[in-house]
Amino acid sequence: MSLIRQIWLLMLSTVLLAYAGSVTVSVESARHYLQTQLRLKNADNATSLALALSQQKGDRELMGLLMAAQFDTGFYRRIKFIAADGSVPFVREAQATGQVAPAWFVKLVPIDSDPGFAQVSDGWRALGKVEVVSHSFFAHDELWSGTVRTAAALAVVGLLAGAIGAVLMRRIRKPLDSTVEQAHALVAGEFRIVPEPRAPELQRLTRAMNTMVSRLRVTFQAQADQLDTLHKQANLDRLTGLSNRAHFLGQLTAALQREDGTAEGGLVLLRVIDLAGINRSLGHAGADRVITTISQALKPYAERARGCFLGRLNGSDFALCLPVPGVARETAQALSDALSVLLTSLGGSAGVCMGAIELRRDMTPAQVMSAADAALARAEARGRFAVELSNEPEHSVAMLGEAAWRQRIRDALVQGRVHLVNFPVVNGRGEMLHLECPLRLQLEEQGEFEPAARWLPLAMRSRLTVDVDERALALALAESGADGQPRCVNLSPASLADSSFSSRLRALLWDSPRVARLIWLEVSESAAVEHFDLLQELSRQLRPTGVRFGLEHAGERLGLIPRLFEAGLDYVKLDASMITGVGSDDHRATFVRGTVTLLHGLSLQVYAEGVADETDAKALWECGIDGATGPYISRQAAPGSH
């Protein structure tokens, strides 16, 4: 039994005991008083009647008339005259009528009517004695009426006491409930501080809980800082803070393979010419200034353009991946012009050369790097600040025009030329957790279904992402309703800014409440960093429908998410760029293990994206990953699972 119920039971028992005791004492006191008054009345009436009978000179006729008159004028049960010789010349008796008090009350609370006796004489001659017994029913009626009034009054007092007790209990229960909610929030990974109540005992409890939560928050922040340090050690170049070679190639691979990755773009390779000679002429510090100057010139590109990333591949080589097609040569030339001024100001003979390539989705990372290296070799042969472009294919958007692409996207949505592709997400035992279901559009009738990388950027420009996400969710609900398989739908970060987005999704989910529990929804990590409040509100509105909510492509900027524990998430999917090579890189494995530990501490499940080989998969299971997806997982999945 709960503490609150025990207190309520104690209060109820106390009130009932006080109520019963008060009524009992009141009834007994009134009964004793009425019984005493009835005895005195009988004695007084007997005395007055005896006095009147003594004045009749022993005339029995007159005495009989007087006793009959007395009997008829009062509530008497019996009047009897006993002569001196023991005979009873007169007796009158009557039964009670019109009694109000119930029979059970009369039986439970008896009132005795003791008879009154008085001597009757004629001078010195004793004539006999008179006995007077009054009815007790009027006393019972009065006692019953008084008992009812007393019980009602005490009941009102009891109800008032109960109301006051309820108010007090609410005041006691409120901080207790807040503490319970705080504990549940802590289990869910939320660090919530509650106000301290006035009651000293509850105040100490709340203060202790708040102190514990504050310390856990500090611990979490320390772990997050440590994790950020591990991330830098595993993935970033110490001097420039740019991605190292392994991390950059992981990002490039993920961008080319992801459904919403790079469809078309560009890559620029930059090489510092004769870095060893610069070391000899300018010294180690001077060479470091050259390297940091180049990195500072590259960083604005990644900061301004979403999807743009860069890295330092080795001591003298840098790489810049562009999310926009058709600008590789222009970007390389602009960098060359800017660096020719910056490096000249440092003195010495520092110079760079650049090779650029236009990316296509059908290219492998090896093909991309090989073509870019070839262009870089030609530029290096030409000398300082030379730029070479490996290829320059026609850009599909430029060929058709944005308006034509926008119309194709609309037509595909309206005509239903859409479908979901299923990729399994499994746990360490090979059991499927859910199907990851990116949406593909058939942009041309009878054509192929194109991945999001092909049309999503234009859908974002045309503000069609809400329609796209709504259609994806509708398809997932229909397919999960048909086969009972849980499905995961990716939501575009651009959709979060639309005020109607959450209401449209909520309406779809409420229309299928049973199937809604099979749906997983996820947005990219960038949405949590840039639109945290919108993400939190979307999670708050959709969570009552039973869906699960998470982040995809995560890991690079987890430390930048404010109040991650308050985002209302169920899981996080680590980006392929964060886990690629984890089986052969101890630093990367340490980072992944730390990330998993941190997120598990927030009660979040952790999954890995883009698992490409068995070595990485085994290392990820050892790191504590809860699930994984990617090419290797799809190959290992049972037939019919995707």
Given phi > 0 = left and psi -120 to 50 = alpha, else beta, which region is 401? Answer: left
Alpha-carbon span 179 to 278, nearest angstrom: 64
Tens-place pLDDT, residues 319-344: 999 988 888 899 999 999 999 988 88
pLDDT given at position 391: 66
Phi/psi at 271 (nearest 5 deg)?
-125, 135
Owner of token pair 């910056």: 342
Which parts of 188-199 fold into alpha helices (H)?
A: none
Contact 143, 30 (CB under 8 A): yes
What does the block give as tokens for 311?
């890295």
pLDDT given at position 1: 63
pLDDT given at position 432: 93
Q: Return the sign of the alpha-carbon dihedral for residues 354, 360, 364, 365.
A: positive
pLDDT given at position 479: 95
Q: How far is CA 341 from the centre of its chain?
A: 55
H helix count then E strand count, the chain = 21, 20
Which residues, in sequence order, are CB contacts of 233 under 8 Å at separation 6+? Answer: 587, 591
For residue 101, give the nearest of 47, 40, 154, 34 by alpha carbon.
Answer: 34
Rounded to 10 degrees, what is the CA torsion of 102, 106, 111, 116? 70
pLDDT given at position 642: 41
Which residues, in sequence order, are CB contacts of 563 under 8 Å at separation 6+? Answer: 532
Q: How far is CA 49 from the centre of its chain?
A: 89
For each of the domains in the chain, give its residue range(s) and CATH number, in order of start: 3-160 (3.30.450), 242-395 (3.30.70.270), 401-636 (3.20.20.450)
Average pLDDT, rounded, for the chain: 86
What does the block give as tokens for 402?
């944005």
Q: Quick one: what percent of the chain has pLDDT higher than 70?
A: 95
pLDDT given at position 641: 44
Position 179, amino acid: T
**What pairs with residue 120 in β-bridges?**
128
pLDDT given at position 355: 93
Which parts of 55-108 fold into alpha helices (H)?
A: 60-73, 103-108
Contact 302, 335 (CB under 8 A): no
Classify strands 439-442 and 449-450 as parallel, antiparallel or unpaired.
Answer: antiparallel
Helix (H/G/I), strand (E/B), else coil: 314: coil
Write b or e for each residue in 268-294: b if 16 or more Cβ atoms lie within 10 A of its Cβ, otherwise e: bbbbbbbbeebbeebeeebbebbbebb
Alpha-carbon span 525 to 210, nearest angstrom: 30
pLDDT along the chain (642 residues), means of 10: 73 84 87 88 89 84 87 84 87 80 86 88 84 86 87 87 82 78 70 78 80 78 76 86 91 85 86 88 89 92 84 93 88 92 81 90 86 90 88 53 80 91 93 94 88 84 89 95 95 90 93 94 89 89 92 82 77 91 88 88 90 92 94 76 42
Q: Is 303 exposed, middle or buried (0-12, 13-18, 19+ CB in 10 A)?
A: exposed
**What pairs with residue 440 in β-bridges?**
419
Which residues, in sequence order, are CB contacts of 92 under 8 Å at separation 6+? Answer: 67, 68, 71, 76, 78, 79, 80
**What pairs with residue 439 in β-bridges?**
420
Phi/psi at 630 (nearest 5 deg)?
140, 180
Which residues, in sequence order, are CB contacts of 375 under 8 Å at separation 6+? Answer: 269, 355, 356, 357, 388, 389, 390
Position 120, amino acid: V
